[in-house]
Copies of this chain bind each other. A is one copy, B any other.
């Protein structure tokens, strides 16, 4: 009965979500404190208390037909202007409301942009390891993701492989920094290299290749690392942002799309993306949350809590002999599988009630993702279980 293109998705379902459901079953059986669930990127840190106060204030102070009503499909003008000015203050950009579309999270921002741009058969390049939902997002418009393998010593893009992957069908390139699942942050030099390659290669395409910066983890960085603002390096850059992680509001579905003035064919692209917001059926980003965001633009969740988690987990796993690079941002650690078959490693972990996601689910076999957006105590209690796994694989302690 179902559509052909849904059959594979129904058969496989999402590896991450499946793990989430298994976690709930194990928790019911063994008690929640005895299941070490690191499978899902659901923030463990609550929203800043000012967010809930802002919700109450908006409800008490503003007209209900306004705060719950329709607005332009791009969002409330004043909210978009406030978002633009916040970006300008922080990143030296020159946006105004016309460059911003409020969206139901970064996922919807990516979708309305792809809807605006892609024709069937177009190719979108993604740097492995990458969030596999990109495949379905691009597939929604009958496009195709072309994966570029990483340099696994740094998890930075392999730039020669990138240049070689560009064809006349390449319509866009996705970058995701801080990265899910590796935790790396692209330095300015990497972004300049990507921009240079895109400028050179766009010459063989009918129009400039678009750079899509998927940035839900922008504010989650540790040790003073800077995340360069991508529009500074390449004009045809669109930024997809979400408050899911920075304000711990993933269920609320609020974020935005930025399209700068200098983006090729700006007026048509921003109009098409706005229409895409409408015709998707979503219509607009949730209205009350837009009004709340205007009051919370300069807030952040407790990023230090994630940094403490990272330090405990990274040092702990390295001490047990596991291999991984130190994440500089996001809340994931991408560990090398000590088993040539990463599903074997996942199974060995599950035997100790450790739930993590295999690297193949991020187009990067031989690795696994550990989401450390969890209570600190869960990491503490999980380390002895990880030790058992290390012993099973004969890893040397340091």
A interface residues (Cβ-Cβ under 8 A, vs B): 1-6, 9-10, 13-14, 17, 40, 42-47, 51-52, 55-56, 59-60, 63-65, 67-73, 104-105, 107-112, 115-119, 133, 136-137, 139-142, 207-208, 248-253, 264-265, 268-269, 271-272, 275-276, 278-289
Smallest CB–CB gap between A36 and chain B, Å?
A: 18
Query: B68, A250: Cβ atoms under 8 Å?
Result: yes
Query: B70, A40: Cβ atoms under 8 Å?
Result: yes
- Give the distance in Å from the alpha carbon of A139 to the alpha carbon of B276 in the complex: 12
- Give the distance in Å from the alpha carbon of A13 to the alpha carbon of B69 in the complex: 21
Smallest CB–CB gap between A378 and chain B, Å?
A: 14
Smallest CB–CB gap between A310 and chain B, Å?
A: 19
Smallest CB–CB gap between A269 and chain B, Å?
A: 6
Pick from B119, B248, B286: contact of A3, CB below 8 A.
Answer: B119
Smallest CB–CB gap between A2 and chain B, Å?
A: 4
Pick from B2, B251, B265: contact of A117, CB below 8 A.
Answer: B2
Given A253-B284, A282-B253, also A275-B13 (CB < 8 A): yes
Query: A281, B2: Cβ atoms under 8 Å?
Result: no
Smallest CB–CB gap between A248 and chain B, Å?
A: 6
Which partner residue on chain B sits nearest A247 by CB separation?
B68
Question: In the assembled complex, which residues on chain B have CB atoms less than 8 Å from the CB atom of A286?
Answer: 104, 251-253, 286, 289
Pick from B42, B52, B279: contact of A59, CB below 8 A.
Answer: B52
Query: A281, B70: Cβ atoms under 8 Å?
Result: no
Q: How many copies does the complex hold?
A: 2
Query: B279, A1: Cβ atoms under 8 Å?
Result: no
- Give the distance in Å from the alpha carbon of A300 to the alpha carbon of B305 in the complex: 43
Question: In the assembled complex, which residues on chain B have CB atoms less than 8 Å from the CB atom of A6?
Answer: 115-116, 272, 275-276
Smallest CB–CB gap between A117 and chain B, Å?
A: 6
Pick from B42, B51, B137: contact of A281, CB below 8 A.
Answer: B137
- Give the distance in Å from the alpha carbon of A282 to the alpha carbon of B9 in the complex: 17
Smallest CB–CB gap between A216 and chain B, Å?
A: 12
- Give the distance in Å from the alpha carbon of A40 to the alpha carbon of B284 in the complex: 15
4 nearest interchain CB pairs? Answer: A251-B287, A1-B265, A107-B281, A111-B281
Smallest CB–CB gap between A107 and chain B, Å?
A: 4
Query: B248, A64: Cβ atoms under 8 Å?
Result: yes
Query: B279, A9: Cβ atoms under 8 Å?
Result: yes
Query: A2, B249: Cβ atoms under 8 Å?
Result: no
Which partner residue on chain B sits nearest A286 by CB separation?
B286
Query: A252, B287: Cβ atoms under 8 Å?
Result: yes
- Pick 13 A–B contacts, CB within 8 A, sort by A: A1-B208, A6-B276, A14-B275, A51-B68, A56-B56, A56-B59, A68-B249, A71-B251, A107-B280, A107-B281, A107-B282, A133-B278, A280-B281
Query: B9, A69: Cβ atoms under 8 Å?
Result: no
Which partner residue on chain B sits nearest A4 by CB separation?
B119
Which partner residue on chain B sits nearest A41 by CB separation?
B70
Smallest CB–CB gap between A49 and chain B, Å?
A: 8
Question: In the assembled complex, which residues on chain B have CB atoms less than 8 Å from the CB atom of A275?
Answer: 6, 9-10, 13-14
Question: In the assembled complex, which residues on chain B have CB atoms less than 8 Å from the CB atom of A68?
Answer: 46-47, 51, 248-252
Question: In the assembled complex, which residues on chain B have CB atoms less than 8 Å from the CB atom of A70?
Answer: 40, 42, 250-251
Smallest CB–CB gap between A278 and chain B, Å?
A: 7
Question: In the assembled complex, which residues on chain B have CB atoms less than 8 Å from the CB atom of A287?
Answer: 251-253
Given A65-B43, A269-B2, also A108-B282 (CB < 8 A): yes
Smallest CB–CB gap between A383 and chain B, Å?
A: 23
Smallest CB–CB gap between A259 and chain B, Å?
A: 11
Which partner residue on chain B sits nearest A104 by CB separation?
B282
Query: A288, B253: Cβ atoms under 8 Å?
Result: no
- Give the distance in Å from the alpha carbon of A190 to the alpha carbon of B271 in the complex: 40
- Give the distance in Å from the alpha carbon of A271 to the alpha carbon of B63 in the complex: 39
Question: In the assembled complex, which residues on chain B have CB atoms less than 8 Å from the CB atom of A3?
Answer: 115-119, 141, 272
Smallest CB–CB gap between A139 and chain B, Å?
A: 8
